[in-house]
Structure 1
Amino acid sequence: MIKRILVPLDASPYAKNALNFACKIAQQLDSEITGLVILDLPGIEKSIGPIPAGGLYYAEQLEKTKTEEAKKQIDRIMDDFEKKCRDEGVRFAKSQQQGCPSENIVREAVYYDAVIIGMRTYFQFGAKDDSGDSLEEILDSCITPIYAVPKSFEIVNFPAMSMNVCIAFDGSLPAARAMQRFTHLRLPDHLQVTVLNSNKNKDEAQYLLDRAESFLMGHGFRNIKKDWTNESIIKAVENQYLDKMDLFVVGANSKNDLLDFFLGSLTKTLIKKDKKPVLIGQ
């Protein structure tokens, strides 16, 4: 059961949509959401760049100005977070920290059941305007399941209308771990699940699909469809599933390159596409 959700916040539409997604989950599971904002002091200092001779005073003043601006932005973000949670009727907590965003998130995530984060991150308040590498860095080290949420996706009429979920399952440990983490969404009556296997051997695919179905049914899921394809998993998802699914469940190795196995490349593809939420169960 997902009872504690960590949502790293910034001022971007991605973070706002991640919070929207978190609120939908929290409403159904009576979860508490912690909004986390991080003042990236190392990033601000790095953004100043090389200091020429005689420029120390001006560099210090610029760093001070950027830090003050970042703190004001963080206060606005936290005010918006509190208002959103109160409007949605979900329990919440607020956390402000300083340091490297990805490192802080990984440390905090240990004490949560899920991290819900935007597919693009803009944690460098006052340091730079383009997206950073925080999501990739978090995926490399985090042991907590991560829901990566795109910029414009919206859950429509949930739970009145079921959510369509695609579990990419190849029988590997990361894929099995992702499927197990998915069952923490204790909403079997509101989820239409498709288990997808890409395999040249149809008999092997059927065996894996049957085992996955048995596992899901043991957790109360009944609306299960089993699909097999002999084309690559990426092509199958792009051509047949990307538009009609609301959530993808994929595996990824912690502390390893996401391309270590075929689902890793699917993970990167889905993040790059930026169309549907992805549950990544490391």
Structure 2
Amino acid sequence: MIKRILVGLAGTPYTPSAIRRGVELAQAHGAELTGVTVVDTTKLDIVGPVPIGAKEAADELREHRHRVAAEHVEQFISQFEQACHEANVSHQVFREEGDAFRLMLSYCRYHDLTVFGLRSVFEYFFEDVDSGQLLCRLICGGVRPILAEATEYRPVQRVLVAYSGSIESAKTLKQFVQLRVWPEATLRIVGFGGRPEDDARRLEEAAHYCHLHGFRSETEY
């Protein structure tokens, strides 16, 4: 059951797709949406080495970066709120400052699903960083499930499940099935990591489990 969905308004070209997906799922499941922006002001203040006599220019650059970041934050919040209002979805918005990883880790504790853009940073176009780093850190920190959206929104009709038969792999499959994010989707369960005869047995059991929960499934090994 999904009742609270967290949407990271991370300020990338992927964010509109994440907003649309969050709203779609909230409508389908009668869930509440939480939109969060995070601005790390300490990073915005980093403008590199400042030559002698250039302090005023550096201060102006910092002010410019803060102003532009604030404008982008409000832009994405406006998109999020408009989409929620049009879909009649209950929602709330939080404007945060500080470390994005620490803050999102805290928010994820009390949400059933977290939706981000596939490349998610909260730098609002100023930092040249690995934009997938935050998602990797959240996953390693135990945050799940996370739905990572591409730039182009697509309806979900088929879902690929990589299944090894391990406890963690089984937990992931069970969580997806029990949440029923897309109950009409067909699951394609692909086995890996074992002998063909073992994979065949595991896949048969996994497919039967999915069938009991009302899912259509295919298997491959």
Q: Please, what TM-score do these two structures have when normalized by structure 2?
A: 0.88
Q: Deviations over 1:67-88 (max 9, x none)?
A: 1221122112111110011112
Residue in structure 1 matched with residue 162 of structure 2 by the alignment = 168
Aligned pairs (5 A) from 1:244-263: none
Q: CA deviation at 1:189?
A: 4.8
- The amino acid of 2:217's aligned partner reads I
1:190 aligns to what SS in structure 2? coil
Q: CA deviation at 1:15?
A: 0.9
Q: CA deviation at 1:169?
A: 0.6
Which of 210, 216, 226 does residue 210 from structure 2 map onto? 216
Distance 2:183 2:125 in 1: 45
Q: Deviations over 1:169-211 (max 9, x none)?
A: 1012331221122024336751212211125622201221122
CA contact (8 A) 2:12 2:125 kept: no
Structure 2 residues without counterparts, runs of 5 or longer:
none
- The amino acid of 1:210's aligned partner reads E
Cα 1:125–1:13, aligned 2, differ >3 Å: closer, same or farther?
closer
Q: Deviations over 1:191-246 (max 9, x none)?
A: 2122111256222012211221233234x224122222xxxxxxxxxxxxxxxxxx
Counterpart check, 1:150 vs 2:145 = no
Cα 1:6–1:141, aligned 2, differ >3 Å: closer, same or farther?
same
Name whichever of 10-19 and 23-32 sits farther off: 10-19
Structure 1 residues without counterparts, runs of 5 or longer:
157-162, 229-282
Residue in structure 2 matched with residue 29 of structure 1 by the alignment = 29
1:225 aligns to what SS in structure 2? strand
Q: CA deviation at 1:154?
A: 1.2
Residue in structure 1 matched with residue 176 of structure 2 by the alignment = 182
Residue in structure 2 matched with residue 192 of structure 1 by the alignment = 186
Residue in structure 1 matched with residue 110 of structure 2 by the alignment = 111
Residue in structure 1 matched with residue 219 of structure 2 by the alignment = 226
What is the Cα-based RMSD across aligned positions, in Å?
Answer: 2.2
CA contact (8 A) 1:42 1:100 kept: no
Residue in structure 1 matched with residue 138 of structure 2 by the alignment = 138
- The amino acid of 1:42's aligned partner reads T
CA contact (8 A) 1:110 1:144 kept: no
How much identity, in percent, do the aligned residues show? 23
Corresponding residue pairs, total: 220
Cα 1:21–1:168, aligned 2, differ >3 Å: closer, same or farther?
same
2:26 aligns to what SS in structure 1? helix
Distance 2:211 2:182 in 1: 9
Distance 2:218 2:188 in 1: 5
Q: Please, what TM-score do these two structures have when normalized by structure 1?
A: 0.70
Distance 2:120 2:200 in 1: 39
Q: CA deviation at 1:12?
A: 2.9
Counterpart check, 1:202 vs 2:196 = yes
Q: Deviations over 1:251-279 (max 9, x none)?
A: xxxxxxxxxxxxxxxxxxxxxxxxxxxxx
Name whichever of 171-180 and 73-82 sits farther off: 171-180
Structure of greater relative contact order (alpha carbons < 8 Å, 6+ residues apart): 2
Aligned pairs (5 A) from 1:8-87: 8-46=8-46, 48-87=47-86
